């Protein structure tokens, strides 16, 4: 029996890039709202494909594997952005309840700011649940947690969001299901 080589050839990598890179880019840009950062996510995701070629080859859904990689890297990008914590504090003081839909939606950054204060698993759960609109089962598989744990993590995050940001954040999350959210 011939076994696939551990390393990916340039031709294989090119095929994967053609098939998946724009999908990863589109998703990363929706999360990060920044083209440069989204390009960086693509590069890092494919770098990890190379580094984990043996594991990658075993995946029944390469995209699902890349989703998980790209999510964590994107969230780490957010964490590394400077001044974010202070910005959150400043914004928290500016928030007013019942603000308009457009204003809430435009301040997508507010959700990302809140995510930075959460642990890695919670952040991934929230991103998959609200950005990717995954079911809890899909989120559980992506993050490697049980469905009840996913539910708890998301609920805990929402409780914190309500305390810190009130109605504006709830509105913002609710808007994640609108078509506008996916436009980029």
Residues from 105 through 124 that contact other proteins (CB under 8 A): 118-122, 124
131 binds other proteins (CB under 8 A): yes
Q: Supply φ then ψ for residue 107, to 5 degrees.
A: -90, 50
The span from the CA of 29 to the CA of 180, in Å, is 14
**Size of the chain in residues:** 184
Which residues inside 39-78 make contact with other proteins, applying CB under 8 A? 39, 42-44, 46-48, 50-52, 55, 59, 61-65, 67-69, 72
* Closest distance of CB 120 from other proteins, Å: 6
Cβ-based nearer residue to other proteins, 55 or 89: 55
Report the site for other proteins in 8-27 (rule: CB under 8 A): 10, 13-14, 17-23, 25-27
Shortest separation between residue 90's beta carbon and other proteins, angstroms: 22
* Cβ-proximal residues to 9 (8 Å cutoff; 6+ apart), any chain: none
- Cβ neighbors of 92 (< 8 A, separation 6 or more) are 164, 165
- If you compute the radius of gyration of the chain from its CA atoms, what whole number of angstroms results? 18
Binding mask 149-168 for other proteins (x = CB under 8 A): x--xxxxx-xxx-x------
């Amino acid at each position: 029996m011939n076994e696939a080589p551990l390393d990916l050839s340039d031709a294989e990598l090119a095929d994967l890039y053609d098939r998946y890179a724009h999908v990863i880019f589109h998703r990363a840009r929706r999360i990060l709202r920044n083209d440069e950062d989204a390009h960086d996510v693509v590069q890092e995701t494919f770098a990890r494909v190379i580094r984990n070629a043996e594991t990658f080859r075993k995946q029944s859904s390469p995209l699902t594997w890349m989703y998980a990689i790209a999510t964590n890297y994107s969230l780490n990008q957010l964490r590394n952005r400077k001044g974010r914590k202070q910005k959150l504090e400043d914004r928290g003081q500016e928030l007013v309840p019942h603000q308009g839909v457009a204003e809430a939606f435009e301040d997508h950054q507010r959700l990302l700011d809140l995510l930075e204060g959460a642990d890695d698993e919670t952040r991934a759960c929230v991103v998959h649940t609200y950005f990717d609109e995954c079911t809890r089962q899909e989120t559980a598989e992506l993050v490697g947690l049980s469905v009840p744990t996913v539910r708890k993590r998301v609920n805990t995050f929402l409780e914190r969001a309500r305390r810190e940001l009130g109605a504006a954040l709830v509105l913002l999350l609710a808007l994640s299901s609108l078509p506008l959210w996916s436009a980029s």
